[in-house]
């Protein structure tokens, strides 16, 4: 009779983490950074139909890398969570912190209980009344949450991009300068990415109740030309 195959809990967790990291590393990158009037979200994404950046609620946006069907499931769950919270209590009770905590619980449960972890990494961004009150939460595949300041890079080149952001990002950047920086990071050593290869959105603090805006077409072209 053959002996049962045993895998230690430590090895199982390590294998799951390695599997998730490899999946995420294959995905195109995303950069999220604060600028003078809000928060800029930029992804390398030639698809016009499958979004990696989305509005969640009035002042909150979502950005993701990894497996599309998995992070889309999380996006939809986040919208439902925000709508239910806002309807049951008050719109002001919907916060990025609450949403990040809900995502952390879901990701943590899947990582520990399911045979396969989600191959995703997320940012939940909330624009505040001032730059000091902007909030960026980065969530990894195992449910870990990091409260970031100023910028976040995700995807296969995240470590390199984070190093460049540390050197180049400045508080109070204009939108065009922030977009130039994000485009440069996502392009790497290659030719600058064409506007059609970028998915770009902002959370603008002075936009009114709904702060999310997609930048496409002539608006995006003009900003990229302005940024040189």
pLDDT digits (tens, 9 = 90+) for 55-92: 999 999 999 999 999 999 999 999 999 999 999 999 99
Q: Please, are residues 180 and 227 in contact by the beta-carbon 8 Å criterion?
A: yes
Burial class (CB within 10 angstroms; exposed 0-12, middle 13-18, buried 19+) of 214: middle
39 Cβ contact partners less than 8 Å away, ≥ 6 residues apart: 32, 33, 61, 125, 127, 134, 136, 202, 203
In the chain, what percentage of residues exceed pLDDT 90? 85
Q: Please, are residues 100 and 139 in contact by the beta-carbon 8 Å criterion?
A: yes
Q: How many C-beta atoms lie closer than 10 Å to residue 3's C-beta?
A: 5
Residues 7-22, mean pLDDT to the nearest whole number:
90
Is the pTM above the cut of 0.85? yes
Look at residue 33 in the predicted model and tell me its pLDDT.
Answer: 96
Mean pLDDT rounded to a whole number for the chain? 93
Q: State the Cα–Cα distance between residues 58 and 72, nearest whole angstrom.
A: 19
Domains of the chain (ranges, CATH numbers): 9-223 (3.60.20.10)
Q: How many C-beta atoms lie closer than 10 Å to residue 157's C-beta?
A: 18
* Residue range 18-64, pLDDT digits in tens: 999 999 998 899 999 999 999 999 999 999 899 999 999 999 999 99
Q: State the Cα–Cα distance between residues 220 and 200, nearest whole angstrom.
A: 8
3-state secondary structure of 135: strand
* Residue range 186-215, pLDDT digits in tens: 998 889 999 999 999 999 999 988 999 999
pLDDT band at 3 (very low <50, low <70, confident <90, very high): low
Q: State the Cα–Cα distance between residues 100 and 148, nearest whole angstrom.
A: 12
Helical packing angle, 217-226 and 175-187, nearest 10° = 90
pLDDT band at 9 (very low <50, low <70, confident <90, very high): confident
Residue 135 pLDDT more than 90? yes
Look at residue 2 in the predicted model and tell me its pLDDT.
Answer: 56
Residue 4 DSSP symbol: P
């Amino acid at each position: 009779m053959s002996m049962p195959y045993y895998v230690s809990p430590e090895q199982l967790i390590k294998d799951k983490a390695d599997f998730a990291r490899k999946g995420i590393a294959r995905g195109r990158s995303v950069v999220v950074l604060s600028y003078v009037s809000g928060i800029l979200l930029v992804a390398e994404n030639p698809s016009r139909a499958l979004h990696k950046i989305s509005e969640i609620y009035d002042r909150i946006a979502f950005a993701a890398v990894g497996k599309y069907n998995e992070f889309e499931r999380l996006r939809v769950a986040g919208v439902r969570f925000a709508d239910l919270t806002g309807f049951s209590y008050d719109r002001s009770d919907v916060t990025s912190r609450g949403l990040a905590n809900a995502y952390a619980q879901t990701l943590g449960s899947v990582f520990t209980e399911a045979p396969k972890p989600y191959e995703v990494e997320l940012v939940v961004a909330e624009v505040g009344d001032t730059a000091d009150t902007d909030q960026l939460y980065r969530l990894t595949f195992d449910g870990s949450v990091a409260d970031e300041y100023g910028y976040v890079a995700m995807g296969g080149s995240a470590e390199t991009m984070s190093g460049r952001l540390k050197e180049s990002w400045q508080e109070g950047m204009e939108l065009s300068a922030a977009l130039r920086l994000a485009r440069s990071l996502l392009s790497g050593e290659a030719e600058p990415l064409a506007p059609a290869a970028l998915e770009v959105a902002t959370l603008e603090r002075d936009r009114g109740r709904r702060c999310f805006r997609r930048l496409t077409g002539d608006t995006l072209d003009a900003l990229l030309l302005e940024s040189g």
